[in-house]
Amino acid sequence: MTVEPRRGFRDEYFYVLDFLPAGSPSDQRPQHLRESVAQVVGEEYFSLLEVVPLPGISLKTGDRILVGKSQEDRVYSQVLKVRRAITYSDLSMVARKELENILEMVVDINEAKFVDFFNTAQPLTVKMHQLELIPGIGKKLMWEILGEREKAKFTSLEDLQNRVKVASLKHKIVERILKELEGNEKYNVFVAHQYPQSWT
């Protein structure tokens, strides 16, 4: 079950995790027929893709690129096409190593989105709350967070940490995103459903 985001949502901007000039390891074609690819992670819904850059474009880890939804968008993109949607298990060793750093950067850049999660998270079942999906947040901290947000909405992750006395909140969020990307969680709160193989 995915709580949010819903099926059908998709990223436009991505961060490069690894650039593979010799092509994807999954490409079974002869070497001379392979295309250079980059493994990338979405900025908003954390979808994972392999993309083929435009001829002459060399991407590097950390680059932010546009993968447009239309031909008009592609004019401003460094990407020729999306080769395929991938999962965590398809990532190269370099991509896996860089993923956590990129996610930390994305959480910093989009902090308001994650603050909003703590301000609006709801129960999943009678016995479980969305807040409890964040590593290190059990019943006691959950009730403290709910109590504090009733007094006043959180304005930043630092504000939340100071008022509830929870440490390393950014790292806990990144840990949750990684767990969802690995694909073994019953509930997703940050990662969208993986896209189908065709990018349409």
83 Cβ contact partners less than 8 Å away, ≥ 6 residues apart: 24, 35, 37, 49, 50, 51, 52
For the full predicted model, state whether its pTM sits above 0.85: yes
Each domain of the chain, given as residue ranges in start order, spans 13-93
pLDDT tens, 21-33? 888 877 777 777 7
Query: d(Cα 52, Cα 35) in Å, to the nearest integer?
Result: 7
So what's the pLDDT on residue 150? Answer: 96
CATH number of 13-93: 2.40.50.140
Q: Which of 109, 198, 192, 123 is nearest to 157 (CA)?
A: 109
pLDDT tens, 138-188? 999 999 999 999 999 999 999 999 999 888 999 999 999 999 999 989 999
pLDDT tens, 86-129? 999 999 999 999 999 999 999 999 999 999 999 999 999 999 99
Coil vs helix vs strand at 91? coil
Position with higher pLDDT, 19 vs 30: 19
- Please give the share of the chain, as a percent, with pLDDT higher than 70: 87
